[in-house]
Amino acid sequence: MFRRLHEPDGQSVSIDFEGEIINVAAGETVAAAVLAAGAEHSRTTPVTGATRLPFCMMGACFDCLMEIDGIPNRQACMVRVENGMKVRRQEGKRRLEA
């Protein structure tokens, strides 16, 4: 489905995506890294639970919302990967801690 137009030729970093350590190109966005890793979805919708993947890759559509380093509702297409980052799919609506 998703493929890069060219392979990155620079440094890489490791991120934890859903408990799996993946190596990704330094400087790319979380959304690009997740797509390149073959993720089937990045979030589910709050009402129906339908799956979504990043769509616009420029911060306009909000289909790329993910939990990044414990913070939900982050636009994965606007956040650059950092070594050791923890990324999780956002399932349904955001939960509030009491």
Q: Is the pLDDT of residue 7 over 80?
A: no
d(CA 33, CA 30): 5
Is 2 domain-assigned?
A: no
Q: What is the pTM of this model?
A: 0.86
**Which whole number is the average pLDDT over 82-98?**
84
Is 6 within a domain?
no
Question: What is the Cα–Cα distance from 79 to 22, expressed in whole angstroms?
Answer: 17
CATH of the domain at 79: 3.10.20.740
Mean pLDDT of the chain: 89
Percent of the chain with pLDDT strictly greater than 70? 92
Per-residue pLDDT averaged across 13-23, rounded? 95
Domain count, the chain: 1
Q: Is residue 40 part of a domain?
A: yes
